[in-house]
Copies of this chain bind each other. A is one copy, B any other.
Amino acid sequence: MLLCGFIKKRSLLSIITFVCLLNNVEAQQATWIWYPGDYEIWLANKMENRRTERGSFYPVFWKIDSHYPLVDFHKDFNLVQPEEVFIYAEGSYNVKVDSKMLEGTPTSITVAAGRHRINVKVFNQQSVPVIYVKGKTINSDSSWFVTFEDKEWIDETGKTSDMSATKWLNAGSWNFNSISQLPSQFTLPVLPQAAISNTQINSGKLFDFGRETFGFIKFHGLKGRGQLDIVYGESKEEALSENHAETLDKLQINLDTQTDSTLALSKAFRYVYVVPGGNVTYDSVSMLYEYANVQEPGNFSCSDDLINKIYQVSKYTFHLNTREFFIDGIKRDRWIWSGDAYQSYLMNYYLFFDAPTVQRTLYALRGKDPVTSHINTIMDYSFYWFMGVYDYYLYTGDKAFINQLYPRMQSMMDFCLNRRNANGFVEGLAGDWIFIDWAKGLSKQGEVSFEQLLLARSLETMAICASLVNDDQGHQRYQKLADELKVNLFSVYWDQSKHALVHSRVKGERSSNVTRYANMFAISFDYFDDPQKQEVKTHVLLNDSIQKITTPYMRFYELEALCAMGEQKYVLKEMKDYWGGMLNLGATSFWEEYDPTKKGAEHYAMYGREFGKSLCHAWGASPIYLLGKYYLGVKPTSAGYATYSIAPNLGGLQWMQGTVPTPGGNINVYCSTKEMRITGAAGKGSLTFKSKSKPVCKQGTIVSKGNDLYELSIENGKQYVVSYKW
């Protein structure tokens, strides 16, 4: 702001120049760039089509899109002195300086001093058109603009038309910051790991890698001729069931000399049963563990060992399912499902805080226009996608990403709105899958209250994002639609005699059936007034006669709603029962579904298949989120943690401590029944707590809010010690 005084008398050109110079100074780091979303979609195609089932290629059943094969990149620069610039691309390319095409395919150019526009246009059908431009001040980064149609026509005199109608977006990028990191060659890193034991069983050997893992099996000293069967198992039973294991490889070996050989496709397993045929022999078997190279700034530990174990296994489960994208499960489906990913985003904010993986996943799910179907073909999953954008902005404050994504949000919402019925409600049309949850006998007919609720939240997301990109008309439209829908859905579904939202309305008849789904989301979205909340808590959430939830997927929202109502103590017990139950059965990662009434290998069956169940499923890792948000009690109260609240809740623990990552550093919380020690991150924090005694803090001023409630402002980087009584 101070600068304005200096520049206000200058011409507009000078101001622009000045701003550009500032930009250049900031942009010293070159990185590979692309059309936003294109690399993400291309990489997702590659990842999702690696799945096999019993040796068969097993792809998704929805539309997958492609990158634009031809992309133009440009940026304007103002150079104080001439500069040599190196240009690299994946694909055929040409280079223009000030709209004049340079001869040949330049790899290095000298740009004269002064104001210049540099364009690089790239064609690549096989992989994504990407460029890397490196000079002293001219470097490729997300401040460059891209388009898939430059509309740069010429007239009969050779004059180039202006490109005013071209839609430019800021370029996409990740962390490919050196020339040699070609985006098309990206693979996840690997680490060699050994089996902890092996046992001869019949004609084969069973290798145990000690816990659920993921990677490439490697044979050492492989030799001979014949078939080599490899059967993967998340359980011992699965590895030993050649006829029913979900994944297997049958290799034809023809090796004269002993050779080390790594399989081409990575798999999920704890056990591997290896059966050599013919005269095939090998010395040993190991694996290359394949993993996403994300940091783990988040953490949690406490006075309860079982909870600590649950947290650690959740972390491992979540890390395994965090790959190029957030996937559902590592054995199956190895796909990106919007409903599953939505929970992963939330867990991510409390463990990795890895924004690029969220961005990539949102892009991959959304794909490209035209929208021909709901995301993953599931109506709820379209809405989770919007909700994921909402949370992304809330946790990261990253407006640039919303700017890039907004056009695709609009067309996705158009698709949803165009499928409403005459009442303004959504119901399943031909081709729509209404999922909600895997639950026996759950009705998906007619106007389901749960879906209207999610649509309302999605519309609120649109309204917020419209404001962010200065689409005022859009903001008004989406806000009005959201408000009307909320009024409408409460008038239709709220049943005062049931003290709850009912499940659905079919052919104009309101159902008397109450399920947990809409009710728990309405709590999380804060759509109820206080009396309604209490009624729902008693008559739905804590009411055993309402159909129980059996998937960790919906347990996530159920336990979240209970926590939001202050039921941390109850939830802690539930966590110990449910997740502890899996640990008791020897789980080394958390499952897709858990039903305590089942026995032995029954636990592994699902979808009518003996080993159909995934034993390492992202949605099984929700304690990461619950413990961070509702026990440590840390959450943003405005975008990007500009303001945030800390409200620790021991829920019956003696003490707990942990770290919650934010865009502006980590928040550390230690809390016992007597003391809290808090370190703040960037932004304005507010610690809220109850105390039976008058609390004391030397580092700040505690404000009493009455009724034993206290508040303390938390500043960046400062440590606060609070004595109090739980």
Residues of chain A having any CB pair with chain B under 8 Å:
42, 45-46, 49, 53-70, 92-94, 101-105, 121, 123, 125-126, 148-154, 156-159, 161, 164-166, 250, 369-370, 372-373, 377, 411, 429-433, 438, 440, 606-609, 612
Contacts and interface: CB of A to CB of B under 8 A. Distances in A.
Contact of A151 (B45, B121, B161, B373): B373
A66 B125 contact: yes
B102 A56 contact: yes
B153 A61 contact: yes
Nearest to A429: B165
Contact of A63 (B57, B149, B430, B440): B149
A621 B179 CA distance: 49
A57 B94 contact: yes
A56 B101 contact: yes
Contact of A165 (B105, B150, B431, B438): B431
B608 A157 contact: yes
A49 B369 contact: no
A164 B64 contact: no
A484 B507 CA distance: 42
Contact of A104 (B60, B61, B148, B250): B250
B58 A94 contact: yes
B149 A56 contact: no
11 contacts: A54-B104, A55-B103, A59-B92, A66-B67, A66-B125, A104-B250, A149-B373, A151-B373, A154-B607, A156-B438, A370-B411
A64 B432 CA distance: 30
A59 B121 contact: yes
A370 B373 contact: no
A373 B239 CA distance: 55
Top-3 shortest CB links A-B: A165-B431, A158-B608, A66-B66
B123 A49 contact: yes
B123 A57 contact: yes
Contacts of A411: 370
A413 to B, nearest CB: 15
Nearest to A64: B70
Nearest to A606: B156
A124 to B, nearest CB: 9
B68 A156 contact: no
A642 B16 CA distance: 67
Nearest to A369: B370
Given A104-B250, A431-B166, A56 B94 contact: yes
Contacts of A68: 63-64, 66
B69 A66 contact: yes
A49 B92 contact: yes
A59 B369 contact: no
Contacts of A66: 66-69, 125
Q: Which of A153, A156, A431, A438 neighbours the largest number of chain B CB atoms within 10 Å of its CB?
A: A156
Contacts of A92: 49, 57, 59
Contact of A612 (B60, B151, B153, B158): B158
A695 to B, nearest CB: 50
A365 B292 CA distance: 42
Nearest to A377: B151
Given A164-B430, A431-B151, A104 B63 contact: no
Contacts of A60: 70
Given A53-B101, A58-B94, 5 more contacts: A42-B125, A59-B70, A59-B123, A66-B68, A154-B607
A158 B125 contact: no
A607 B158 contact: yes
Given A42-B125, A66-B125, A149-B372, A161 B57 contact: no
Given A49-B70, A377-B153, A430 B101 contact: no
A151 B61 contact: yes
A251 to B, nearest CB: 12
Q: Which of A60, A69, A154 neighbours the largest number of chain B CB atoms within 10 Å of its CB?
A: A69
B61 A125 contact: no
B45 A125 contact: yes
Contacts of A429: 165
A147 to B, nearest CB: 9
A165 B62 CA distance: 12
Given A67-B66, A158-B609, A250-B104, A152 B61 contact: yes
A45 B61 contact: no
Given A70-B49, A431-B166, A607 B157 contact: yes
A430 B165 contact: yes
A92 B50 CA distance: 10
A96 to B, nearest CB: 9
A608 B158 CA distance: 5
Contacts of A53: 101
A94 B58 CA distance: 7
Nearest to A49: B123
Contacts of A151: 61-62, 373, 377, 431, 433
Contacts of A57: 92-94, 105, 121, 123
A428 to B, nearest CB: 10
A350 to B, nearest CB: 29
A700 B318 CA distance: 86
A53 B154 CA distance: 15
Nearest to A150: B61
Q: Which of A67, A70, A104, A438 neighbours the largest number of chain B CB atoms within 10 Å of its CB?
A: A70
Contacts of A56: 94, 101-105
Contacts of A103: 54-56
Contacts of A370: 369-370, 411
A157 B102 CA distance: 62
Contacts of A70: 45, 49, 59-60, 63-64
Contacts of A154: 607
A69 B69 CA distance: 13
A164 B433 CA distance: 12
Q: Which of A93, A121, A606 neighbours the largest number of chain B CB atoms within 10 Å of its CB?
A: A121
A48 B66 CA distance: 19
Q: Which of A105, A149, A432 neighbours the largest number of chain B CB atoms within 10 Å of its CB?
A: A149
Nearest to A95: B56
B369 A148 contact: no
A141 to B, nearest CB: 24
Nearest to A151: B377
A379 to B, nearest CB: 12
A514 to B, nearest CB: 22
A111 B111 CA distance: 66
A231 to B, nearest CB: 13
